[in-house]
A and B are shown apart, each in its own frame.
Chain A
Amino acid sequence: MSSSGPGTAAVSTPFAGSRAAKGPGIDPARARARSARRRRIGVRTVALGYLAMLLLAPVLMIFYRTFEHGLAPVWNAATTPSAEHAFWLSLEIVAIAVPLNTAFGIGMALLLERGRFWGKAILGLLIDMPFAISPVVVGLSLVLVYGKTGWLGDWLAEQGIQVIFSVPGMVIATAVVSLPFVVRETIPVLREMGTDAEQAAETLGASRWQTFLRITLPGIRWGVVYGVVLTTARALGEFGAVSIVSGRIEQQTQTLPLYVQDRFENFDATGAYTAAVVLALLAIGTLLAMNLLTRRAHRGTVD
């Protein structure tokens, strides 16, 4: 150890000298730190700027334009019969489509993650199709199957069931476009949880149903909740597919997004902006609710 002493000193001397020669303030380490900080700030500016231009500015503009002339016109626009009908119809569709997709999503996630069967990869791809296919195409294909001239249309008409141009078709269209969310959010959580706890429950005498309710479901609940939130947000905002299967009949098959479009096309800016704000508030409310739920849960049961 002592023999290396002079060697180290010899190496460090010219280095110290060069530093002194460049004068004070140009410490290479500090300069490096500063350039790293500058780069970091640069990246943040770009990221935030991108977000601001694409998301924040348009949303804020909607809010600004809506409340530009005070609250009274907004209240009037929000309480027209058509607006109210569209609001409740949107909620009704969400209230049916989201539970359907939640139940289906959990079951499908279990099947895809735990099952061993032929064609599993194909089934996984099929589940993702609604992400890839344009909602307009989804709408058109539903008309081809359930419409009057469609494949099941005659039979459905004989039974007195109208799917296209009525609520059932809109629920189906909404369910299809928001199908993958619960499945895709639940699968990774299921995988991370593993099967040990479920097997432990089984050896302790729990039936399959008891194991599912008391071990599996609580274990995956945050994945499911997140999936439900995304499904709800997507379902609320769905335009393309619903637009085609609904026929956009005012006060009958007009959801909030369709109503926004209708008002906008009819030069009723206040009506359009008001409905848009209501939609935005619903979505923000959903996200906030999830956030609160997650936070409370983390405080209660340290996972």
Chain B
Amino acid sequence: MAIEARNVSKHFGDFAALQDVSLTVADGALTALLGPSGSGKSTLLRIIAGLETPDSGEVIIGEHDVTSSPARSRGVGFVFQHYAPFKHMTVHDNVAFGLSVRKRPKDEISARVDELLGLVRLEGLAGRYPSQLSGGQLQRMALARALAVQPRVLLLDEPFGALDAQVRAELREWLRRLHEEIHVTTIFVTHDQEEAMEVAEQIVVMNKGQIEQAGAPRELYESPANEFVMSFIGPVNRLGDAFVRPHDIQILPEADGTGTEALVERVVHLGFEVRVELKLHDGREIWAQVTREEAQQLELVEGQILSIRLPQPRVFAS
């Protein structure tokens, strides 16, 4: 089901959380709302879900204007950052909740719950209570609970924000595969650009209550619309008004006079990637990203003076 937000604004007291935001998400797409905290991304998600009322603007899900419908009749599945488990219920009863308030027959509920617990790989844990689960398991339970009622759209608010790095990486991969399997229109909120790039088909970059740019991950990386998007997505060197990607800086074998002279201040080996911190002759500091092999060939040593070639820097009109 396609999702559309039209000219949505929302204030909390004097704070403008969203200012005239419009957004379209295609049916079946997996979209990330990416931005720093306070950018309005969670507020937009909650407005789409019906958990928050916009001051102005409309929300359309599928063909229907749902702006004035309550959350319970919007057909959205919502997953909270802190999982929002029903602590007094077992995993089975948590997942069954949406079906049992719809008064479905018992055996139908049981069959559906079993199927979902299989989908989120929690088969053996149906009788446990939330306090007996790990963070990753709780998040998968929350997802199964949201999917149980066959939502038209799935909304996830910082779904992996409270998990440790390894579980995060696993769940990201898993969310992407799950989406391929069930193809429900999905929007997730994140402040982690790597997570957005890895999981989403479309990224919507938000800042200060507005959308800066929306597009495919590669599009945002290669042709950012402005300074904010460029510096938020991917690493960046700032030289005055200009921006240069670290991997676009070319290090020449010797100080042969054709490039800009630079002093190697530090060489940081990060596995495949090597980070070279440089000081230009005018005192400006930048860093370059090279591969392990390049670094070996160049025989980079701290204190060495070499030449670099800067690409055409990107300048954004302010």
Contacts of B86 in A (CB 8 A): 197, 200-201, 215
Q: Mark A139-179, 1 if CB is under 8 A from B, else 0.
A: 00000000000000000000000000000000000000000
Report the interface size for chain A: residues with CB under 8 A from the other chain: 19
Q: What is the distance, in angstroms, from B100's C-beta to the closest C-beta of chain A?
A: 9
The one of B80, B102, B131 in contact with A302, judged by C-beta atoms closer than 8 angstroms, is B131
B88 within 8 Å of A by Cβ? yes
Asked if B88 contacts A303 (CB within 8 A), the reply is yes
Q: What is the distance, in angstroms, from B71's C-beta to the closest C-beta of chain A?
A: 5
Asked if A202 contacts B72 (CB within 8 A), the reply is yes
Q: Mark B61-83, 1 if CB is under 8 A from A, else 0.
A: 00000000011111011101010
The one of B71, B73, B148 in contact with A199, judged by C-beta atoms closer than 8 angstroms, is B71
Report the interface size for chain B: residues with CB under 8 A from the other chain: 30
Asked if A196 contacts B132 (CB within 8 A), the reply is no
B92 within 8 Å of A by Cβ? no
Chain A, 192-206, CB within 8 A of any chain B CB: 196-197, 199-206
Q: Chain A at the B interface: mostly helix, strand, loop or mixed?
A: helix
Asked if B84 contacts A197 (CB within 8 A), the reply is yes
Determine the residue in chain B with the shortest Cβ distance to A199: B51
A301 within 8 Å of B by Cβ? yes
**A197-B86, A301-B88 are known contacts. Are A202 and B70 too (CB-CB below 8 A)?**
yes
Chain B, 137-165, CB within 8 A of any chain A CB: 142, 145-146, 148-149
Asked if A204 contacts B88 (CB within 8 A), the reply is no
**A206-B72, A302-B129, A302-B131 are known contacts. Are A199 and B101 too (CB-CB below 8 A)?**
no
Asked if A200 contacts B80 (CB within 8 A), the reply is yes
**A219-B88, A301-B129 are known contacts. Are A201 and B97 too (CB-CB below 8 A)?**
yes
What are the 5 closest A-B residue pairs judged by CB atoms, nearest first? Answer: A196-B84, A204-B98, A200-B84, A203-B78, A218-B88
A: which residues have CB within 8 A of B?
196-197, 199-207, 210, 214-215, 218-219, 301-303
B: which residues have CB within 8 A of A?
49-51, 70-74, 76-78, 80, 82, 84-88, 97-98, 101-102, 129, 131-132, 142, 145-146, 148-149
